[in-house]
């Protein structure tokens, strides 16, 4: 196991995810809970293996917005056509924070890669919280925030106004959830900053305008350079990350080329302060 960066991410060697033992699985889970994301190279990972592996974490959350593979509803397709300008996930965020019980994480498999570009970045929210000045930690104490994806995915929303909008599902859905601004990881006990600039709208009891000054300070603090890591995808690469521990960002720097990834979203548990 090799760190990807000082405070975020590890690369794990010598494991076949399709055939890993229960002991290896426990070690993989612990590494992801602690480091936020784990990378595995050279994997032979069929759609059936992808689903079987996902079920070993518990439930699978079927994504309500992304297109699904023809044969397997559990697998969402994250793709960008050569003539598209907009990509899915091309801004810092954490998946499904707008759900009452947010997804634990994701298992993302590279299926078709551009000749270069299309890296993914992660940022560790435990490291982000630890680095907050004391006055910001005190300001977060006891706060809850409202999260929604309606402004992104709904009809007329941000994505619908782009050249990617026609491929999305669920544009008539309504979302909304309230979560503590600082949560404890259910397996490690570590304090994590749980807001993100894509889906966190305001603090409970405050307007958007009243919330923005503190939110913007927290968003900026979440992205210090030393709590980020970056993955250069290769054929056979699989990334597994913890949505509670990390934000991520899919780089959109491969215009004119096709990219297709397959994602399984892992069911989570209720978040606690």
Could you read off the pLDDT of 209-253 as tens digits, one per residue?
Answer: 999 999 999 999 999 888 999 999 999 999 999 999 999 999 999
Whole-angstrom distance, CA of residue 138 vs CA of residue 141:
5
CATH number of 2-266: 3.60.130.10
Phi/psi zone of residue 114: left (φ > 0), alpha (ψ -120 to 50 degrees), beta?
A: beta
pLDDT of 6 over the 90 cut: yes
**62 band by pLDDT with thresholds 50, 70 and 90:** confident
The residue extents of the domains of the chain are 2-266
**85 band by pLDDT with thresholds 50, 70 and 90:** confident
**Per-residue CA distances from 166 to 21, 67, 245, 254 (Å):** 41, 10, 31, 21
pLDDT of 204 over the 90 cut: yes
pLDDT more than 90, % of the chain: 81
pLDDT more than 70, % of the chain: 92
pTM for this structure?
A: 0.93
Query: For residue 182, what are the β-bridge partners?
Result: 193
Whole-angstrom distance, CA of residue 163 vs CA of residue 86:
6
Q: Can you give the C-alpha Rg of the chain in angstroms?
A: 18
């Amino acid at each position: 196991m090799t760190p990807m960066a000082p405070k975020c991410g590890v690369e794990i060697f010598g494991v076949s995810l399709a055939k890993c033992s229960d002991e290896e699985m426990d070690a993989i889970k612990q590494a992801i809970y602690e480091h936020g994301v784990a990378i595995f190279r050279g994997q032979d990972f069929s759609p059936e293996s992808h689903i079987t592996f996902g079920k070993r974490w518990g439930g699978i959350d079927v994504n309500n917005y992304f297109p699904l593979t023809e044969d397997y509803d559990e697998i969402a397709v994250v793709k960008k056509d050569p003539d598209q300008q907009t990509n899915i996930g091309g801004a810092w965020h954490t998946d499904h924070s707008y759900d009452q019980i947010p997804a634990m994480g994701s298992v993302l498999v590279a299926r078709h890669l551009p000749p270069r570009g299309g890296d993914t970045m992660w940022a560790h929210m435990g490291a982000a919280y630890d680095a907050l000045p004391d006055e910001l930690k005190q300001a977060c104490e006891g706060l809850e925030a409202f999260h929604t994806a309606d402004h992104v995915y709904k009809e007329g929303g941000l994505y619908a106004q782009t050249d990617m909008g026609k491929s999305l599902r669920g544009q008539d859905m309504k979302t909304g959830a309230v979560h503590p601004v600082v949560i404890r990881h259910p397996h490690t006990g570590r304090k994590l900053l749980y807001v993100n600039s894509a889906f966190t709208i305001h603090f409970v009891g405050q307007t958007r305008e009243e919330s923005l000054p503190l939110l913007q300070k927290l968003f900026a603090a979440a992205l210090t350079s030393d709590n980020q890591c970056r993955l250069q995808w290769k054929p056979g690469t699989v990334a597994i990350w913890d949505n509670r521990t990390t934000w991520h960002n899919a780089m959109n720097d491969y215009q004119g080329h096709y990219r297709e990834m397959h994602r399984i979203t892992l069911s989570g548990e209720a978040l606690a302060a």
